[in-house]
Every structure is written in C-alpha cells, then in structure tokens.
Chains A and B, each alone.
Chain A
Amino acid sequence: MGDIRDMGLLLKEHPFFQDMGKAARETIAGCGRNEVFEAGRYLFHEGGAADSFYLVRHGAVAVELHVPGKDPVVLETLHSGETVGWSWLIPPYKWSLDARAVELTRVVVLDAKCLRGKMEKECALAYELYKRFVPVMAGQLLAARFRLTDVYGNPER
C-alpha cells in the first residue's frame, strides 16, 4: 500500500499527471514502478511488445530509427517531465522505434497491460489518459510535418 502511495506522489510531481484527479492517479499508480537506465541501455526496441510506457523523471531518452547497415538516426530526445511511448495504446501494441537512455535516466514504468485492462472497465480513466496522450501525438505529428518542409534546408538541395 505504501508503495502505491509513493508512486501516487511521484505521478503527482510529474507534469504529465499533475492535473489529474486523485482517484484516477491512484488507480494508475497501481500499475507503476521505478526503474533506472544507465546511459546506452535501451528502454525498448522496434517490433517489441509495447506493454509499457515511461515517464522521464531525470535524464534524457533518444528515440531512434534503426537503419540497416548504417548508424541509427536520432529522431527526438525526450527529457524530464516528458513521456516516452504511445504504441501501447494502439493495436497491435508493438514499438515502431527504438528508445535509448542518453545518460543515466530515472523513469516511472507504467505497465500497459494492467492499464489497458483498467481502461476497458473504466471509461473515465481511459478518457483521462487519452486526454493526455492525444496532445503528445498531435505535437509529434506537427513536429514531423515541420521537419518534412525541411525549413532550414537549402531550397535547391
């Protein structure tokens, strides 16, 4: 019980869940645990089961695209106060990219299988989570479009 209370406090401190009602936060806390990733360790790999997502508490995570025969391309870095991963919300629940700790990184890992089960039963909880993840997805879509225009690039390139 003490653990869930501590996790509840961690979630409350994290910007992603800060404004969420206590009841929903406590429910989510039941699916959370702390984990530390040393620099270079992967949080997940492309194609793996997306059965979790991560709240970055300290440190930085690089989201990478694996390119066969070449070095991976870093597409985004995520920092304290941000979340990593939303493939756990969308069937078939598989990661589409790799995520690697750039430096020593402390995260809260939320067990997505556990959350998906709770969301099926509690629409209000599902709404609270979607309300937070949809803007993250929209932000990433906008950023991807921004990059597609290659705004800084040479017009002749």
Chain B
Amino acid sequence: MRDPMTPSLYRVDKVVRELPDTATLGLVPSGGDGPFSFRPGQFNMLYRFGMGEVPISISGDTLDRSRVVHTIRAVGSVSRALTELAPGDEVGLRGPFGSSWPVDEAAGHDVVIVTGGIGLAPLRPAIYHVLSNRGRYGRFVILYGARTPNDILFRSELESWRSRFDVDVLVTVDSAGREWGGNVGVVTRLVDRAGFDPLHTVALVCGPEVMMRFAIPALNGRGVPNGRIHVSMERNMKCAIGLCGHCQYGSYFVCKDGPVFPFARIATLFAVREA
C-alpha cells in the first residue's frame, strides 16, 4: 500500500484560466500510478516543489478518471505558484483525503446547493453526480454568489446547467453595473426565493465561513433542519491523515472527520470564536 505521506508525481496536462486569480489544472500521473478515483467533496494535498504543500478539493467529475482536476485560487505563495503552472510542469499529489458530500443519502430528496466564490469548485463533483443521476433526486437548486459579474466561476457551465429544464440555477452578485441583467444582493437572499420542499431537502453549503454563517440561518428559516445541512470546512493542514493535529476543530480533525460535516455535528463549534 502507498505511503499516504509520500506524494506521487503528476504532470499538468491541461490548464484553464478561469479568472485572473483562478485556474483549473488537469493532472495526469507521470509515475506508475493507475487511474485516480475519489468521492465528491474530497481533497488532495498538492505539492509545488520547492514551495510547499496545500489542500485543494477535487473539482472534476468522479466518472472521468483520465485526469485529476483541481480549481485553485491564488491567495498566497503556494496557491499562486500552483495557478501559474503550465502544461508539462510537475506537481506532487497525495490523496484523496477526507469525507464527502452525502450524494447517496440525498437520493429521494430535493438538493439545494448554496455556494459563493471559489466554494463552487469543491461542490462541482457533487453537481456532476446529481446531474448524471438526475432521476434519483427531487428538485435540484444551485444558488451561487460572487462579488461582481466578472468574478463568477465556471460561468459557461452555470449557464449550461441553467439552460436545462431540470435544474434551477440562481446567481447573484454583490454589486454590478447596469449591463448585468441578473440578481444583485447577498446569496442568502436567494434561499428565500428558491423553490424547494424544505421538509425533504438536503442542503450542501460551501463558501467563505462568513457566507456560511449567513446561509445556514436562511436555510433554517425556510425549515431545513441542521441535520440535513452539510458544510465543507477549511483549516490549515499538514499531514492530512489525522496525525499532526494542525487542522483540529474542536474534537475533530478537518482532514479526517471532514472537510464535509453534517452541520448538526459542528453547530456548537461553529458558534465558537477561534483566535
């Protein structure tokens, strides 16, 4: 069995410049690794040689095993260096790690996705899963917020999902010029307008923590209980296998017990202010 602390060598096979600070990398094994499989919501540790290693969610389709896909936003030195990679460059990869979105548990329910900014990337595999198994779910609602129209991630994909007759996609931005004909306002206001049956809904929430703090009461306000709200948490990581304690969150380790948690499990922690 492979040592989970030793990265495998992967080659950048494809780069999509999504936004000025965000890129999607398609990676293929350049060592002897076979096809990569993962569950929606899981993450890998990506190692930029000479710089460092960071956790990044897998943003591709679980059914496409030809490439491992990650969407990265440059916020600091390692994430920036990753977004600057070009086809042919190599990275180290460890994973997949962590818990996943409850896509099987959600079967038979309406599925409501509430997300903002780069938070759409960790949810994209769950979206692909629901779309490929559309008949197993009730209503499917995607609520997405971005800062401005120019900051909308996966814009053409959002547009194509919206053009299907079996998905409700509502996008909102914090502010816009007049040329934007869509919604303006905080993402949580979309929760009030979206059509779903709160008593039979599973909600998947991923975005900046402040956004989640607003989104969860909005979902509760519509009648979705904490037990059916799932959130993806982020904490700094080192080992990613539950050994070092870097990602400790109350009595949990985000790398092993998360990153996806049923909100009911962490609701009390969520209210606690960390230093």
Q: Are A71 and B183 in contact (CB under 8 A)?
A: no
The smallest C-beta distance from B168 to any residue of chain A, in angstroms, reads: 14
- Evaluate contact between A151 and B116: CB separation under 8 angstroms: yes
Q: Which of chain B's residues have a CB closer than 8 A to the CB of A74?
A: 175-178, 180, 184
* Closest beta carbon of chain A to B158's beta carbon, Å: 15
Q: Nearest CB to that of B213 among chain A residues?
A: A146
In the complex, the answer to whether B21 meets A154 with C-beta atoms within 8 Å is yes
Using known A-B contacts A79-B193, A143-B189, A146-B210, determine if residue A152 contacts B174 with beta carbons closer than 8 Å.
yes
Q: Which residues of B contact A153 (CB under 8 A)?
A: 147
Cβ B183 vs Cβ A147 within 8 A: no
Are the C-beta atoms of B21 and A77 separated by less than 8 Å? no
Asked if A68 is an interface residue, CB under 8 A from chain B, the answer is: no
CA distance A139 to B189 in the complex (A): 9
B222 to chain A minimum Cβ distance, whole angstroms, is 13
CB contacts between A and B, total, < 8 Å: 68
State the CA gap A149–B179 with chains docked (Å): 25
Docked complex: A119-157 residues within 8 A CB-CB of B: 139, 142-143, 146-147, 149-156
Please determine whether A102 and B181 come into contact, CB atoms closer than 8 angstroms. Answer: yes
- B1 at interface, CB cutoff 8 A: no
Q: Are A155 and B208 in contact (CB under 8 A)?
A: no
Question: Which single residue of chain B is at the shortest CB-CB distance from A153?
Answer: B147
Q: Which of A77, A142, A143 is most buried by chain B, counting CB atoms within 10 A of its CB?
A: A77
CB pair A150 B147 closer than 8 Å:
yes
Q: Does A72 contact B (CB under 8 A)?
A: yes
**Is B151 an interface position by the 8 A CB rule?**
yes
Partner of A152, one of B147, B177, B179, B182: B147
Query: How many residues in B have their beta carbons less than 8 Å from beta carbons of A?
Result: 32
Asked whether B185 lies within 8 Å of A143 as measured between CB atoms, the reply is yes
**Alpha-carbon distance A71/B148, docked complex (angstroms):** 15
Residues of B within 8 A of A146 (CB): 186, 188, 210-211, 214
B145 interface residue (CB < 8 Å to A): yes
Beyond A151-B116, A152-B208, A155-B75, is A72–B178 a contact (Cβ under 8 Å)?
yes
A64, B175: Cα distance in complex, Å: 10
**A15–B175 CA distance with the chains assembled, in angstroms:** 26
CB distance from B212 to the nearest CB of A (A): 10
A62 in the interface, Cβ–Cβ < 8 Å? Answer: yes
**Tally of chain A residues near chain B (CB < 8 A):** 25
In the bound complex, do residue A76 and residue B208 qualify as a contact, i.e. CB atoms below 8 Å apart? no
B93 to chain A, nearest CB (A): 25
Contact with A along B127-156 (1 / 0, CB 8 A): 000000000000000000111000100000
Question: Chain A residues near B207 (CB, 8 Å)?
Answer: 151-152
Task: Decide if A23 is an interface residue (CB 8 Å cutoff).
Answer: no
A76 touches B185 (CB 8 A): yes
Evaluate contact between B186 and A75: CB separation under 8 angstroms. Answer: no
Bound Cα distance A154, B208 (Å) = 11
Tell me the A62-85 residues at the B interface (CB within 8 Å): 62, 64, 71-77, 79, 81
A76 touches B184 (CB 8 A): yes
Residues on B with C-beta less than 8 A from A81 are: 193
Shortest distance in angstroms between B178's beta carbon and chain A's nearest beta carbon? 6
A-B contact pairs, 7 of them (CB 8 A): A74-B175, A74-B178, A76-B185, A146-B211, A147-B186, A149-B210, A152-B208
Q: Apart from A71-B177, A73-B175, A74-B180, what 18 extra A-B contacts exist at CB < 8 Å?
A: A64-B178, A72-B178, A73-B176, A74-B176, A74-B178, A76-B185, A77-B183, A77-B184, A77-B185, A102-B181, A146-B186, A147-B175, A150-B147, A151-B117, A151-B210, A152-B208, A154-B74, A154-B75
Query: Taking beta carbons and an 8 Å cutoff, which residues of B are in contact with A?
Result: 21, 73-75, 116-118, 145-147, 151, 174-186, 188-189, 193, 207-208, 210-211, 214
